[in-house]
Structure 1
Amino acid sequence: MQAKYLKLDITSNVATVTLYRPDKANSLSPEVLVEIESLFGELSNRDDVHVIVLTGGERYFSAGFDLDEIRKLEKVSNENYTALFHRTYRSIMFCSQPVICAVGGAAIAGGFDLTMMCDIRYASERAKFGQREIALSLTPIMDPLWRIIGLGRAKEVALTGRIYDAREAEIMGYVSKVFPEGELLSSVNKIACEMARFDRGCLKESKQLANMILDQGLDEAMRMQEWLFRTYIGSDDNHRRIDDLRALMSKRS
């Protein structure tokens, strides 16, 4: 696809998707949302992509909703715009590959929601996070937020509309790690490339499993995990990777 507001790089089975609307701090206009939905739909079906990194670069992530666009809406005619947002969210959350979010700057309101749809979140020291919908008389997205940080903390984030710095986000478990300013993208790319060496199917099914088990009873979840494990153990790729690991350990000893 030809995108105006996204940049795409595919290297070593890692697709890096960069939001690119710097004059608007990467705010999410309908055109940006359409491009994200379309690109993630395409990437989801690419066998040469094992991991996806979503970022806005070292300076930005996304300031959120394009307020000029929202101001044009009427309550009786907002269905298409609302549906577009949620299709875009779903295109990230249910993308086949693991999606890593690299947050270099402010991730606010709709921008925060995009980070929520990713599987892993890393941030630079200059990153900021805030679910500001309540300040705009809009209802926030609580799920999957509560699954990530717990219901009590999710209520705080949603109902106060407070802006959190990167360290606070790390402490609450929303961000996995904070990197020094200017080192985010190189650090995340290293992690993504290590992940991309793993079997694509195993990555895909492990992500699906993580999304499914929250809605299962413990016994059912354990049975599902046993069945999935059984489909991989003893496979040719499993044997090859064991041999590779043994060879590596032998060199180190």
Structure 2
Amino acid sequence: MTVSDESKAVIVEDIGDGVWVFSINRPRTLNALNSEIVQQLKEAFDAASKSASARVILLTGKGKAFAAGADISALVNFTPEEAMAFSRSGYELFNMIEGASQPIIAVLNGYALGGGLELALSCDFRFAAENVQVALPEILLGIIPGFGGTQRLPSIVGHARAKDMILTGRKLDAAEALNWGLIHRVFPADRLLEESVSFARDLAAQSRNALGCAKQVLNSSRSLPPQEGLEIENQALGRCFRHDDSREGMRAFLEKRKPNFKKQ
């Protein structure tokens, strides 16, 4: 197992079987997002994109929170231009996460508020402990979500529910968030990481090429007319059949054995 410097804002662990864990490591501030954390997350995801051993990534927080929004102590002194620049830096990170070829799982071990929830929204899966609360409370501070929440949330929970969350700033508990489809799975807090790692290992055993193709089709076609989406799907299917994993997967099925997919 490889572990990065524990003093860093983001700890990177390779826990084996194709699974990496990124942990935001500022528990005293409830992992509130700042420029340092955003930059270190960019560096971590960039490194993962170049590694054959990073097939699935778990993203979580140390302590009592996943990430309790942006660092308000920094935001309060921002000029409009500085606020917009910080927002754009967040866009770059979240677009990197959304566009990664690997599945990314947000493991919500505690509060996921504001920018923290927006970070989770950019991931492919969101797993949560039973006691978790999520919200986009920026309206209560006289601002709006600035890391893509106004764009990603409606595509996940629908326009009406996104308005409910964003215009009121109210918190949802894990059960309501699960019911809305905002969270995929809820576990007891003491089993959250174990269950998330188990799920990640199952995913990591699949074809990395097929996972990347499926993710690319789903993300790139969600706002397109069906006919355009079908063409994107058709092209991606062709890429799958050009990769050795397609033959291996189908042969394994016919031979009643587990497939041995390539690691890249």
Q: TM-score, normalised by structure 1?
A: 0.91
Which of residues 226, 234, 245 in structure 2 aligns to 1:226? 234
Q: In the alignment, is the contact (CA less than 8 A) between 2:209 and 2:243 conserved in 1?
A: no
Q: 1:79 to 1:142 in 2, by over 3 A?
A: closer
* Equivalent in the alignment of 1:175: 183
Distance 1:58 1:186 in 2: 16
Q: In the alignment, is the contact (CA less than 8 A) between 2:22 and 2:57 conserved in 1?
A: yes
* Equivalent in the alignment of 1:216: 224
Q: In the alignment, is the contact (CA less than 8 A) between 1:6 and 1:36 conserved in 2?
A: yes
Structure 1: which 5+ residue stretches go unaligned? Answer: none
Q: In the alignment, is the contact (CA less than 8 A) between 2:128 and 2:187 conserved in 1?
A: yes
* Equivalent in the alignment of 2:166: 158
Alignment pair present for 1:4 and 2:4 = no
Q: 1:95 to 1:150 in 2, by over 3 A?
A: same
Q: In the alignment, is the contact (CA less than 8 A) between 1:19 and 1:55 conserved in 2?
A: yes
* Equivalent in the alignment of 1:185: 193
Q: In the alignment, is the contact (CA less than 8 A) between 1:58 and 1:185 conserved in 2?
A: no
**Which moved further from structure 2: 237-246 or 59-68?**
237-246
Equivalent residues, number: 250
* Equivalent in the alignment of 1:107: 112
Equivalent AA in structure 1 for residue 139 of structure 2: I
**Which moved further from structure 2: 126-135 or 3-12?**
3-12
Structure 2: which 5+ residue stretches go unaligned? Answer: 259-264
Which of residues 62, 66, 69 in structure 2 aligns to 1:61? 66
* Equivalent in the alignment of 1:29: 34
| Superposed displacement of residue 96, structure 1 | 2.4
* Equivalent in the alignment of 2:211: 203
Distance 2:45 2:231 in 1: 31
SS of corresponding position for 1:53: strand
Q: Deviations over 1:173-223 (max 9, x none)?
A: 001110012110110100001101112121112111111111321112122
* Equivalent in the alignment of 2:248: 240
| Superposed displacement of residue 247, structure 1 | 4.4
Distance 1:222 1:148 in 2: 21
SS of corresponding position for 1:18: strand
Which of residues 51, 54, 74 in structure 2 aligns to 1:46? 51
Q: TM-score, normalised by structure 2?
A: 0.88
Distance 2:11 2:82 in 1: 32
Equivalent AA in structure 2 for residue 240 of structure 1: E
**Which moved further from structure 2: 128-137 or 50-59?**
50-59
SS of corresponding position for 1:159: helix
Write the mapping of 1:95-134 to structure 2, written as runs, cut at 5 A: 95-134=100-139
SS of corresponding position for 1:27: coil
